[in-house]
Structure 1
Amino acid sequence: MNKIVLIVLCLIFSVTASCDNDSSSVDKKKNVENKVVWKMASSFPGSLNIIGEGALNFVERIDQVSNGFITIKFFEPGALVPALEVFDPVSTGAIDAAWSTPGFWAGKIPAAQFFTAIPFGPSPGELLGWYYYGGGKDLWEEIYHKHNVHPVQCLMISPEASGWFKKEIHSLEDLKGLKMRFFGLGAIVMGKLGVSTQLLAPGDIYPALELGTIDALEFSMPIIDKDFGFYQIAKHYYFPGWHQPFSTNELLINLDRWNALSSSQKAQIETTCTESVVKSLAMSETRQPEALEFYESVGVTLHRWPDEILEKYKEAWDQVVEEKASENEDFARVWNSLSAYRDKYKVWKSLGYVD
């Protein structure tokens, strides 16, 4: 009898072990199938202060947060596609993802520019309020989904400077006829004031300034501009960044790839990007004083635009936004949404904050 019981127990153990092994194999197979390995093209070099640095930090962090189940490989500008041409390959699925900024797609999606920077626009806190709770995020995703791309806000930086010039600017007359690298909606404003603007990839700006292809430029904030050495050629640096009181960057993801993710994986990417927004803004606020001290030590003159010139910039911006809204439905929808939020917010802003 004992032998029979022993045989039965052995058989039960064998079957159970076999089932456990089969279950383990299924789990392992499932895990392998769910592992994400993506290539991410970039519009910015990984060595670039905060913006490129943020891309490398994101890649490392998402690997940690996902416990190795989301692996994203960063590719320098030009390694997969040119810096200003990452959108279409993400749209078609030729590449999985890209690290860029919405303002680069102004020719394709005029409304995208609102999700990089807004001339005379909100502070970061007000912007994030509109983005998360005022409809901004939903609008952005809806617009990009038409192009089979899913956007995730993944970086934010402080106000930018508004220009490097070889000569001091005394009046708006001094701007007329200048050839200037300028970005986003601010470039249209400068065009209204007689400046000939063009958009250049980050790595192309210094050579253009050195060769005289452009006379002046705006690119970013002090610590980032320092990396490019513009101060070696242009010695007059102007503030404030009326055209970009904040700037945000995006993680572009092919929509089919995004939809294939589990809800947990989507949350991991969004959460990691939200962390990146907070840390990049903190980094950019912290690093500016050091850069300004450096500029003064090498003979750069720091200027603040007179109020009368800022007023002219604002007048030109009001014309630009009205014209663009009349030309493009999505542009108008985003602008109206943001304006409605700001109108409601301004009572709180006037009461809650010290001027």
Structure 2
Amino acid sequence: MSIKQKLSRLSVGVAAAAVLSGSMISSNVMAAEKIRWQVPLAFPSHLVGLTTPVKHLSESLKAISDGDVQLRYYEPGELVPPFEIMDSVSEGKYPAGYTWVGYDQGTIPALPLYSGAPFNMEPPAYLAWYYEGEGKALLEEIYDERNIHPMLCSIIGPEGAGWFAKPIEGLDDFDGLKIRFAGIGGKVLEKLGASVTMIPGGELYQSLERGTIDATEFSQPAIDKMLGLDQIIKNYIMPGWHQTLTTSHLLVNKDVWNELEPQSRALIEMGCESATLKGFAQSEFAQPTALRDYESEGVNAQTLPEPVLRELEKATNEVLDEIAAEDEMFRRVLTSQREFMEHHSIWHSKGYLPRDFYQYD
């Protein structure tokens, strides 16, 4: 063999060794990032679209990382009560939590604008505002002083407006009601004379059964059915004027987040984006079946008359403006949302078929 041939073979060998070494180093870097997080949940893990995305997230991250990234989630109350998840993550008691951020509106008034606000955007527009507009950056700014990195990890469509002993014919019907109602919608009903309380979803059945509350809202038809709310009350009010969408977020302790390798952070971010899409599909698939079941079981699914909705919208805007006058961050987020809704309306109104075209009966 000539010297030239020997050098050529040697060069190939060195190159191959370098590639092999590089791939081994890359593999070792990935393998060295072992993530084992305990993640408390605000809602039971079987609620379709609301918490089922966390199962998709957990399974996907484990599979794509070959077991390096494992998120073990715990049912409400197993680690901490639902209302204490944010503080537990902020203080580093747990690395992450999966929750409805509206539970913390007493501490951070702007959060209900992210978890689901009255007469707000529908999911497609919200996702555009969140990912491509100012939404994500503003939410990260909100949580920064709490030492938390937030990630949108679930979105579903409008809720039902609640379960009531009697049909709602006008705003006077809310006066004097003892009702479980979440978010800004609860403040609107307080303005209309209702006595509003906040109760975790797992306690609603017993509260209705014992008469602790007269009425309640929780989530979408399929989720409310899972909680058995239709077994106690037969008047179901729609549409969900108070929450045109509902989100859940993965909150991660920022010290924990910052210590992760960039590829691990990217993996978890993409996992939440995937979970958001998966949960929305699951939710939209489940709702018509639940409504059909309600019909066959004698549940009266009432649609609120438009004049009542207009009055609720008026009361809602008054409440929103009152909160905005008291809290700067709330005002910034609300202004951003309103400006985007106005901007998006030309597409929403002209680009999509009117809803009447979607009647298939």
Q: Structure 2-normalised TM-score?
A: 0.89
Give 2:40's aligned amino acid: A
Contact 2:169-2:308 at 8 Å conserved across structures = no
Contact 1:38-1:96 at 8 Å conserved across structures = yes
Which position in structure 1 is the counterpart of 2:209? 210
Give 2:342's aligned amino acid: D
Which position in structure 1 is the counterpart of 2:8? none
Which position in structure 1 is the counterpart of 2:3? none
**Structure 2 Cα separation of the partners of residues 195 and 86 of structure 1:** 28
> Which is further off, 199-208 or 167-176?
167-176
Cα RMSD of the aligned pairs, angstroms, is: 2.2
Q: Secondary structure at the match of 2:249?
A: strand
Q: Structure 1-normalised TM-score?
A: 0.90
Residue 149 (structure 1) shift: 0.8
Residue 66 (structure 1) shift: 2.1
Which position in structure 1 is the counterpart of 2:279? 280
Which position in structure 1 is the counterpart of 2:112? 113
Gaps of 5+ in 1: 1-16
Q: Deviations over 1:2-23 (max 9, x none)?
A: xxxxxxxxxxxxxxx9xxxx99
Give 2:34's aligned amino acid: K
1:27–1:352 CA distance, 2 compared to 1 (3 A): closer
Q: Does 1:164 align with 2:163?
A: yes
The count of corresponding residues between Structure 1 and Structure 2 is: 338
Which position in structure 2 is the counterpart of 1:189? 188
Which position in structure 1 is the counterpart of 2:7? none
Q: Secondary structure at the match of 2:337?
A: helix
**Structure 2 Cα separation of the partners of residues 173 and 112 of structure 1:** 29
Q: Does 1:331 align with 2:312?
A: no
> Which is further off, 121-130 or 165-174?
165-174
Residue 302 (structure 1) shift: 0.9
Alignment of 1:215-294 (within 5 A): 215-294=214-293
> Which is further off, 161-170 or 251-260?
161-170
Which position in structure 1 is the counterpart of 2:5? none
Contact 1:151-1:251 at 8 Å conserved across structures = yes
Q: Secondary structure at the match of 1:40?
A: strand
**Structure 2 Cα separation of the partners of residues 107 and 141 of structure 1:** 18
Give 1:280's aligned amino acid: G
> Which is further off, 205-214 or 291-300?
291-300
Contact 1:65-1:272 at 8 Å conserved across structures = no
Which position in structure 2 is the counterpart of 1:124? 123
1:122–1:30 CA distance, 2 compared to 1 (3 A): closer
Residue 171 (structure 1) shift: 2.3
Contact 2:155-2:279 at 8 Å conserved across structures = yes
**Structure 2 Cα separation of the partners of residues 55 and 30 of structure 1:** 26
Q: Secondary structure at the match of 1:250?
A: strand
Identity %: 40
Give 1:254's aligned amino acid: N
Residue 28 (structure 1) shift: 8.5
Q: Secondary structure at the match of 2:83?
A: coil
Which position in structure 1 is the counterpart of 2:39? 40
Contact 1:34-1:69 at 8 Å conserved across structures = yes
**Structure 2 Cα separation of the partners of residues 293 and 162 of structure 1:** 18
Contact 1:66-1:265 at 8 Å conserved across structures = no
Q: Does 1:52 align with 2:73?
A: no
Q: Does 1:141 align with 2:156?
A: no
**Structure 2 Cα separation of the partners of residues 258 and 83 of structure 1:** 22
Which position in structure 2 is the counterpart of 1:3? none
Which position in structure 2 is the counterpart of 1:313? 312
Which position in structure 1 is the counterpart of 2:359? none
Contact 2:118-2:185 at 8 Å conserved across structures = yes
> Which is further off, 52-61 or 279-288?
52-61
Give 1:182's aligned amino acid: F
Contact 1:164-1:235 at 8 Å conserved across structures = yes
1:320–1:24 CA distance, 2 compared to 1 (3 A): closer
